Chain A
């Protein structure tokens, strides 16, 4: 370029010098290229480093949440305590609350200690009671109420231990920190070690993390993602069912049928802007329209799904239009040339060719919606939910039962005091990331599978 401007009227000076020696200009150009490559490599290195740090920190913090410490004990279920009437009448038996079941567990632990010859100085009765998770009596009660024939027998049962004891085996709690901690005593840790030596206590894979509902502040060991996963699943179904057909229909109309005028330009600009609207704004909108105006129930997956649909629509419309645009016009001409109508040419030829792009866009939109937190906070999906939401119920309709969602559960857990919840929040992030990776893998697979060259 600059060579050309150097050409004066006095003709260009003859180039002299050997090809084997680089002249100054060539050196400068090569140096510039080398610098640019270095910038690129540096940028990629920073990106990869950030990813590695993110993944290692999350895996380091969160992987342990998939393991949980359990105590295996023989538990006596005396009829005198659980069913005084002896009729095995459920209504009567339900009157015995978890408070009635807790002593059975403490007694069982004491019996196991005696049987294995474990004696620890300074171990109080409270230490023994608190050694077992507060969730365990409820687990036991549910088991007995489900099968009343167990009353009067002695059953072997795997029960959860207190989160602090679990933390001891995950490195969160040490003998020194236990001295300062009012929730756990060094004697409990000694007991744990003794039980572990006796083969009763073990830290193993915990499917409950994926299936159990959330638990209160006092029992992090029992908290799981069951409700959150269900809620997220319901919302994804709502988003897919609403956003895909609406988004694709809107894009096809705008791209193929709509006249190009001021109005369609305006719509186009607004769709692009909508994609950039902060998600919390959609939350306010959902609160105002779906809950306050339409009267849908707060915390319901249907409301979350509707809000996320509004958020996902622009993404789907933009990617679908891009996919439609990338279909060569010669295909449309060919179809019209043999006498296909506009709609036939779109549905028979253009849409199949655009399908991989549309699917990819949809799945990326869904993945975005899956990870969205802010709007869900505003429509009450941050609530503490213990009951598994049903997909349909008479009272609440389709996807109308209160639920929570994966990213909100992460947010929720990070707010709690017990460090065990921080571990579980990281674990939930791993689950979320696995889902996202899975969806992206599906997107890539579909693209490869359906992509056609022309």
Chain B
């Protein structure tokens, strides 16, 4: 479990999904993100690591404009999704979030049935024409989230009654039910036990075939296990970004080395 297994994969042939240029984020007077440039590849797992408060979650929330809900938060710079500026005034954040799904740190299923949890996204986006199609989406999403076999007999029981790991996979199923192109995960395993964590990690690896996944994690082992690319944030700066193997074995920046060897953090 704790071994530093490095996932070696060739990712050079893939296209950029998200490009961030000179991104600055302010919370009131606090400069939380300083001049971040990053390219996130399609069909790749990208991990953001760094000590607490370094801005990795803040930056993640910029990618689907969840920061819009915080009044004092200001974002500058340019973030594009498939070449389109997501902070363009013409962009509706609701449409954006349908394309860029998000899974949160704490499992937060709606206090509704398992079925309704997954069906909610497709319903509000009008992705289905009838009940049969909706059933199909719910089943395929739950299957992709590796939860179908555990819940297929109790789709109408409340989602909040599941165990922590199941709840988090339900949240993942809910996020992928809207057919997003990018899946953002904000420390998805921090509230889970090791077995549930392993299940979710396995799932993330499978999701890579269809989505671009960005994951924020506190655990360097997890970043090493699931990601192909890793970005190291420190005090609001993007210190180093590159292939996961390179970051963990031959970090260029002394701060990265200090962090992964446990001297800062």
Contacts and interface: CB of A to CB of B under 8 A. Distances in A.
A338 B160 contact: no
Interface string B97-112: 1100111101011110
Interface string A317-348: 00000000000101111111111110010001
Nearest to B108: A330
B224 interface: no
Contact of B104 (A334, A348, A454): A334
Nearest to B180: A339
A232 to B, nearest CB: 37
Contact of B110 (A259, A260, A334, A339): A334
Nearest to B118: A338
B175 A337 contact: yes
A452 B101 CA distance: 27
Given A330-B104, A333-B104, A353-B111, A338 B71 contact: no
Contacts of B125: 339
Contacts of B160: 453-454
Interface residues of B, number: 27
B71 A349 contact: no
Tell me what chain A mostly uses at the interface: helix, strand, loop, or mixed. helix
B121 interface: yes
B108 A331 contact: yes
B14 interface: no
Interface residues of A, number: 22
A349 B109 CA distance: 11
B149 interface: no
B66 A452 contact: no
A259 B97 contact: no
Contact of B120 (A338, A353, A452, A453): A338
Contact of B69 (A260, A328, A336, A344): A336
A454 B66 contact: no
17 contacts: A330-B108, A331-B111, A333-B104, A334-B104, A334-B109, A336-B97, A337-B97, A337-B104, A338-B97, A338-B98, A338-B174, A339-B95, A339-B121, A339-B124, A340-B121, A344-B124, A349-B110
Interface of A: 259-260, 328, 330-341, 344, 348-349, 353, 452-454
Nearest 7 CB-CB pairs, A to B? Answer: A339-B98, A330-B108, A337-B102, A338-B121, A339-B97, A334-B108, A454-B111
